[in-house]
Amino acid sequence: MSRRSLQWIIVGIVILIIINIIFILIVLSPSIVGIFDFTSKNTSNIATTISGLTSPILTVGSAYLLYLALTKQIESNNEQRRKNDFDMVTLLYNQLNKEYNSIEFRVVQVTDAFTRKETSKVVIEVGDRALKAIYNTYKRTPKQFKDISHMAELSSIIATFVLLETAIKNLRAPDTRTLFEEKIRYFYIYKLKVPLQLISECVRTLDESERPETVFHFFKRKQREYFPDYSIDQLSQDVNTGSS
């Protein structure tokens, strides 16, 4: 129902109410002609008759206005829920980026092997570069991956990613849901895929108790989801490209 139609309906109901009130006032007013005098004792029951006739009209009008009010309230509640869902997804996406960019790893760079103390410097890598630096540091001792604190940070990022996926699935607007699904897909491909691939290659031959299972299984799940033809056996072939 358009807003203009709703306005005309409300105006019509108001006019009917006014007409009923005027009619009652006219009927109950003293009359010059005795036959039309409804204020006498004999004709006082006319008020009850008029009330009985007008009550259904007023009741129907009131019920319809109540229906319109409830409908608008439901629409408002649904709109508020959609806004809350959108705000939640946006908050989680920003949190995901914040956690990703907060990963730090200190790397000692040496430009001259003969003057190590004088030319060495500590470089703080963040985000994607930090994850690759972690891989390069521990790739020869893969059992240490599970125990380093950076794996806990990476697991937290994965948990936020999964929570964001759930929130996106609950979005009521299909267009918005599709947009955010694409955003997290690109986030995985361009920010998480290569580091997770490198780490997974290192730990894939270890026992389950020795490897960071959260990282390993998340990588396998997302690869199957985004790249259906991908096989975990391709890791050894792909990792050389990813680490270069």
Nearest to 88 by CA among 166, 186, 9: 166
CA distance 162 to 173: 20
| 158 CB-near residues (< 8 Å, 6+ apart) | 214, 215, 218
Residue range 28-78, pLDDT digits in tens: 666 555 555 555 555 556 556 666 666 777 777 778 778 888 888 888 888
Q: What local confidence, expressed as pLDDT, does residue 186 receive?
A: 92
Tell me how crowded residue 132 is: count the other CB atoms within 10 A of its CB.
Answer: 18
Q: How many CA atoms lie within 13 A of 104 on its CB side?
A: 5
Secondary structure of residue 162 in the 3-state scheme: helix
Across the chain, mean pLDDT equals 75
Measured distance between the N- and C-terminal CA atoms of the chain, rounded to whole angstroms: 62
Q: What local confidence, expressed as pLDDT, does residue 90 receive?
A: 92
Nearest to 22 by CA among 44, 50, 41, 48: 50
**Between 222 and 114, residue with greater pLDDT:** 222
Residue pointed to by tokens 């990022």: 157
Q: What local confidence, expressed as pLDDT, does residue 94 receive?
A: 93
pTM check: above 0.85: no
Mean pLDDT of 144-161: 81
Tokens representing 139 are: 């790739």
Nearest to 151 by CA among 96, 215, 83, 233: 215
Q: What local confidence, expressed as pLDDT, does residue 67 receive?
A: 82
Per-residue pLDDT band at 244 (split at 50, 70, 90): very low
Q: What local confidence, expressed as pLDDT, does residue 243 receive?
A: 46
Percentage of the chain exceeding pLDDT 70: 67
Determine how β-strand 121-126 pairs with β-strand 104-109.
antiparallel
**Between 200 and 48, residue with greater pLDDT:** 200
Q: What local confidence, expressed as pLDDT, does residue 141 receive?
A: 76
**Between 120 and 69, residue with greater pLDDT:** 69
Secondary structure of residue 224 in the 3-state scheme: helix
Mean pLDDT of 80-102: 90
